Structures are given as structure tokens and as C-alpha cells.
Amino acid sequence: MNERVRELDGVRGISIIVVVAFHLLKRADYFTSNETLHFITRLSSIGWVGVDIFFVLSGFLITSILLRTKHEKNYFKNFYVRRSLRIFPLYFVFIAVILLLLPKLDPDFTPEIPRALPFLLLYQQNWLILISKIPLTTYLAVTWSLAIEEQFYLIWPAVVYFTKKETLIKLSIGVILFSILARLLGILFWDDMSQVSTFFYYNTFTRFEQLVFGGLLAVAFTEPLWIQRLKNISIPSFWVAFAAFLALCFTAYPHMVPLDENIWLVFGGYTLAAVFSAAMVTILMTHPETSMFRRLFQNKLLIFFGKYSYSIYLLHVPVILILLDMLWRTQLRGWAMYLAYIVLTYTITVVGALITWNLLEKHMLNLKKYFEYQ
């Protein structure tokens, strides 16, 4: 568990690619009336699951670190400082720049900045989205998932530290069952299905399901017997859960996002995504490097996107929106503009990620050497 598995960067890579596609292609659709391209756009809406894959992978990696370092002297300090160096610098610079530009980018939201700022600074903007009559500006909307991860990082180290392994397993299973039951009760007793889907999409307590699912997998990986058991069932588990997930999505085509009024996807989509994501991580951790799965995620392009996935995630929506405004004014339309918009968005976002990496992120990450685990 101490060695870096490069295929997990490949998982991050494919996740960020589909997340960007999810936000990008529905806007690229404006440029064309081509039905084939519209169909591709509708398929890309499945890209919402990229965030869930991130959640499972984060839960797995973070819990693995916490379990491995549980008995070290500086357990809490090292964890929180290292997480802060990874997450905070780029996040707060990004928030500051967007807020300074909002009077130009989104003047309608500008009066709401004082109300939104505490939520953004404290990583609580997922709750702002849920309780606010005026939604968070689109330029910052993707940060809801970062808020949920930070809320998880805040409490999970203490949970791991103060509980025995058996208790941690029971607690994790309890969180997963609570999330499933809450969605079921919401569907049965909440009259407005659109409110149900929004509530469970952004809600911290039910979205912890995927993070805890990854944590549960990390606990299992501390036992050689369970590693072998999981290895034996990982491939069939992946294909069954992935097929069931796709079936749920396509039964409600073109409404393949749990933010839509898709009852079955709201109920089962999150759990199925967690299962096939955990199975995928298991395959990559336990199967030979020459296996089909591992070769797929050894792709250099996927690993490249995975390395810069954090900055790409933060930057891609502003790039999408600004570029859309610029290209729309050209009055050019058609399939060529559809494709040009997509290529330009990915290219500019990646260039921006490379710039932030070299100017900021890598220098902050170098400071981790002063807080190494033993």
C-alpha cells in the first residue's frame, strides 16, 4: 500500500475527462442541430458519475493512509497539513480570482457574494446550494463536491483514530445503509421529486456513502484473506454493477442524471456507482499489470489527465462559460463549431492546469517533505 499505483491516476484521468464532457457537451449542443451530435451529448450526461468515482477513490486512499499511520506521533498534524498543502492554495486562489471577476462574469450574482463567501471559505457551499433561493454562481458550482470531501476529511481521521477496525466496519456499513434508506424514504414520502433529486445530489450525509464505501474497501485491504476474496469477485462485481448502472441510466433516457426526475437512478445510481468504482480499484490493486483493466488505465493520456485532475476540475467550468460566450458572438454554427468548442475547451483547461501546477501546486506539494509519515 506504500507504493503508488499509477493506474489510479488513470482512474482520476478518465473521471475528469467524463466530468468535463458532462458540463461541456450540453453547451456545445447550442452550436449544432445535428441529431447524431445531440445523441452524443445526451450520452455524455452519464459523466456525472465521474465525481462519484472520485469520491470512492478518495475514500479508499485517505483511509489507507490513516490506517497505515494511525499509531504515529503526529498522526493528526501530518494528515491535516499535507491535505491543506494539496487542497487549500489552489482552491483559495481560484475562489479569490473568480470573485474578483464576478461583476463582469456574473453580475446578477455579485450582490450575493457577501452571503456566499462564508460558505465558500468554510467548504459548506453544497448546503448553500440546497438552502438558497438563488443558486451558487455557475462559475463556482463544481466546488460543491470539494466541500463534501473537505467535510469528510475533517471528521474521518478522528473516526479512524478512535475506533477499532471492527467498529469502523460497522460504522461504515451503517452510513451506507442510512444513505440508501434516506433516499428510499425521500422517494416514498416527498411529493416534489425534483426537490428529492436535488437534495440527495448535494447532501453531505448521503453523499458520504461513496467516500465511506472507499474507506470500507481500504479496511478490507488490511487483511490478506479479504484481499484475496475481493480479488476473486472484483471482475464479476464490476461488470454486474456497471451494467446495472447503465441500465438505470438508459431506462430514463435522455434523463440520465440523478438531478432529473429519475426515481430509480436517484435510489440506486449512487450505490451502483460506488460498487463498480470499488471493484475497479480492487482490480487495479490486485490483478497482474498485464491484465486488460490495468493496461487500460496505464494509458499515458489518462495518467496525464489524472495528475492534473484537481486543477482541471476547478478551471474547466469558467473556461467552458467564457469560451462559449466568445464563440457564440462569432455567429458561426454547425458541427465544426461543436467540435472546435470541445477541443478548445479541453486544450485551454489543460494549459491552465499546467500553469497553476508549475506556478503554485508543485511548490506547495514540495512542502510535504517537512511532514512525512514514518
Place of cell 499509477: 6
Cα torsion 110, 120, 361, 364: sign? positive
Q: How far from the centroid of its chain's Cα atoms is residue 95's Cα?
A: 18
The rounded percent of the chain whose pLDDT value lies above 90 is 87
Q: How confident is the model at residue 169 (pLDDT cuts 50, 70, 90)?
A: very high
pLDDT tens for 183-194 read 999 999 888 888
Q: Is the peptide bond before 254 cis (omega within 30 degrees of 0)?
A: yes
Q: How far from the centroid of its chain's Cα atoms is residue 256's Cα?
A: 17
- Tell me what pLDDT residue 99 has: 96
- Tell me what pLDDT residue 3 has: 54
Mean pLDDT of the chain: 94
CA separation for the pair 144, 130 (Å, rounded): 10
Tell me which DSSP letter residue 357 carries. I
CA separation for the pair 97, 110 (Å, rounded): 13
Burial class (CB in 10 A: 0-12, 13-18, 19+), 285: buried
Instruction: Compute the average pLDDT of residues 226-255.
Output: 94
Which is nearest to 181 in space by CA: 244, 246, 271?
271
Q: How confident is the model at residue 4 (pLDDT cuts 50, 70, 90)?
A: low
pLDDT tens for 26-84 read 999 999 999 999 999 999 999 999 999 999 999 999 999 999 999 999 999 999 999 99
Q: How far from the centroid of its chain's Cα atoms is residue 370's Cα?
A: 28
- Tell me what pLDDT residue 213 has: 96
Contact 258, 268 (CB under 8 A): no
| Model confidence at 125: pLDDT above 60 | yes
Q: 158-171 burial, b for 16+ CB within 10 Å, e for fewer?
A: ebbeeeeeeebeeb
Q: At 308, is the secondary structure helix, strand, or coil? A: coil
Instruction: Compute the average pLDDT of residues 195-216.
Output: 93
Q: How confident is the model at residue 262 (pLDDT cuts 50, 70, 90)?
A: confident
| Model confidence at 352: pLDDT above 60 | yes
- Tell me what pLDDT residue 15 has: 97
| Whole-Å CA distances, 209 to 9, 202, 270 | 22, 12, 8
CA separation for the pair 62, 48 (Å, rounded): 22
Segment among 198-207, 260-269, 283-292 with least mean pLDDT: 260-269
Instruction: Compute the average pLDDT of residues 348-367.
Output: 96
This prediction has a pTM of 0.95
Contact 56, 282 (CB under 8 A): no
| Model confidence at 2: pLDDT above 50 | no
